[in-house]
Structure 1
Amino acid sequence: KAGEAVADFIELLWEIRFVFDKYVVKWIKDEQSDILKICPVDENKDSKNKETVYLRRRTEGHMPELAQLQRMLYHSQEMRTFYWLTPYLLFLQENYSMLQDTSKPNLELLYLQYLDHHLLNLSLPYISNDEIDAKPLSERTWVFMEEITSGRGIGSQSEFSPDIYLLDESLGLRFPHYWFYKLEYLLWRKYIRVETGYGGEDISKKEIEEFKITAKNSVEHIAPQRPIDGQTNVEVSENRALLDSFGNLALVSRSINSSWSNSTYRFKREKFYESNIKNRRIEALKLLSVYRRDKSEWTKADVKNHQRSMKACFEEYDKYVESGRSRLINI
């Protein structure tokens, strides 16, 4: 029995390693830098011993939407606690044969969208509410794993609902970076499905498709916190609730935040076009709708309209994930 247990354990390790290689992003060296990709994995059987299988991972990327979602998760979660990965690997291992069924496409993506949306999309640590008994993330992870193995039906964890109302709060620098990263994924997902509406003639559809979510660590106020004397429009900066709202914030690199500092909207817009449009490098998709060429000022109405449109992205995606949940429940 001990020998059988060891053999079963080794077989399980092999299965987990296989789905990990096939469906999870890895750092792959690109032409200019390392990039997170999902690369095709080939199974090659030994010509002499058919029971021996070798795996070969190619370097070209595929499954672009699954890879983009995982980039978002990779950069938005603590490096040592990728809680989403354990239930995701369990789902892949338990349902691998079904994932190969061409009549049921994209189940690996649907499940990760569901898992992310209900496991991580909670604002409880940031909004005080004594009436809510919030389970720690580690405990919620076990709930999703039990969901896979219990036979109750995958996708039944409606008790963990995404807290989109967090976007109405004025948290300023306390906004969880997760929500900015998630928005980048939602905007990218939206933009690759339309021909226009993501950057006008300045950004090509191909550049949108090739956009990769990367690490950023600094929350930028679009209307500055401390406007320089003589700035013409300070109505947003003088309204603390509006200043610290999601509509007036973006997640950027620390170097950009430092160089833009308390500059005017017009100055930041020029810098954005200089570094993003001319150099064909998009810092953040959220900023494409902020630093538009037909705007010279950033007003209260602009902040509110931008926040409303960004929140609508989350609301639309919430409906999409819920519609996909029915396919998971029937697995």
Structure 2
Amino acid sequence: MHWITKLLIWLTDYFLDRAPEGWIYEDIVNDTAREPVTEFLNNKENFYLGVATPHIVLNYLDFLLWKKSPKIDFDFEFRNSVEHWYPRNPSEGSFPRWEDEGPNGVDRFGNLCLIQRSVNSKFSNLHPSAKKSTFQEMIDKGSLKLRIMSEMTTDNSQLWREDTCSKHEEEMLNLLKDACGM
């Protein structure tokens, strides 16, 4: 995967500003991603896969978010770890565990993002507001979905679990559905 990431970065850097007439880079990305993303979206049980969420879904979502704001400072990188924003196992009972499975559980799509494995080990089982305050520089270089979750985070963990995560999830799934013509 590292070689394809480097190739895509090179292609993006090289062709973005001087794309030849008829260049269909965006079409290639969409055609490659739509089939597996549509399969993901067609089964609502997939929205609660947690760390088993297919990486292509989260990568394509970052691509779509980037296309909405192409001037945003974002680099496509090899991100190989799905992270829970609100952790599955909070640090030594320091804040409430989010135990529910399924539509309101910690493994829901709205609570997940794709990050580098080294960042995952740093985030560990910290509260979202602690991740945000301690690792803001890493978040600012991370996936666009991660950045959005960070922006939506307050010190109130209940708000993320009960309301904000649901809103975020709905917006992200709608963006994917629109891109896949659903």
Unmatched tracts of structure 1, length 5 or more: 1-24, 29-34, 40-59, 67-98, 124-162, 193-204, 323-331
Amino acid at match of 1:116: T
> Superposition pairs for residues 1-331 of structure 1, below 5 Å?
27=6, 36-38=9-11, 61-63=14-16, 100=21, 105-106=22-23, 108-109=24-25, 111-123=27-39, 163-166=40-43, 169-192=47-70, 205=71, 208=72, 210-234=73-97, 237-241=98-102, 242-277=105-140, 282-292=141-151, 295-296=154-155, 297=157, 298-319=160-181
Q: CA shift at 1:312, angstroms?
A: 1.3
Q: What displacement does 1:276 show?
A: 4.0
Three-state SS of the structure 2 residue aligned to 1:38 is helix
SS of equivalent to 2:58 = helix
Unaligned runs of 5+ in 2: none
User: How far did residue 110 of structure 1 move?
Assistant: 5.7
Higher-RCO chain (CA-CA 8 Å, sequence separation at least 6): 2
Specify whether residues 238 and 185 from structure 1 end up closer, same or farther in structure 2 by C-alpha distance, changes over 3 A only. Answer: same
SS in 2 for 1:251: strand
Give TM-score, length-normalised by structure 2: 0.78
Say which structure is richer in helix: 2
TM superposition shift of 1:257: 0.8
SS at match of 1:223: coil
Distance 2:6 2:99 in 1: 44
Q: Summarize deviations over 1:138-191 as a string: whole Å, max 9, x none.
A: xxxxxxxxxxxxxxxxxxxxxxxxx42346531112111111111110110112
TM-score (norm 1): 0.45
Q: Do the aligned residues in 2 keep the contact of 1:26 with 1:38 (CA within 8 Å)?
A: no
Residues 30-73 of structure 1: per-residue CA shift (max 9 Å, x gap): xxxxx72228xxxxxxxxxxxxxxxxxxxx62226x9xxxxxxx
Distance (Å, rounded) in 2 between the aligned partners of 1:256 and 1:114? 28
Q: Structure 1 residues 211 and 232, CA, compared in 2 at 3 Å: closer, same or farther?
A: same
- The structure with the larger Rg is 1
Partners of 1:171 and 1:245 within 8 A in 2 = yes
Q: Cα RMSD over matched residues?
A: 3.0
The SS at the match of 1:303 is helix
Partner of 1:136: none
Go from structure 1 to structure 2 and tell me whether the alpha carbon gap of 1:211 and 1:304 turns closer, same or farther (over 3 Å shift). Answer: same
Verify the 8 A CA contact 1:272 1:291 in the aligned structure 2: no
- Matches of 2:60 and 2:5, distance apart in 1: 20
Find the aligned partners of 2:174 and 2:80 in 1 and give their Cα distance.
Answer: 24
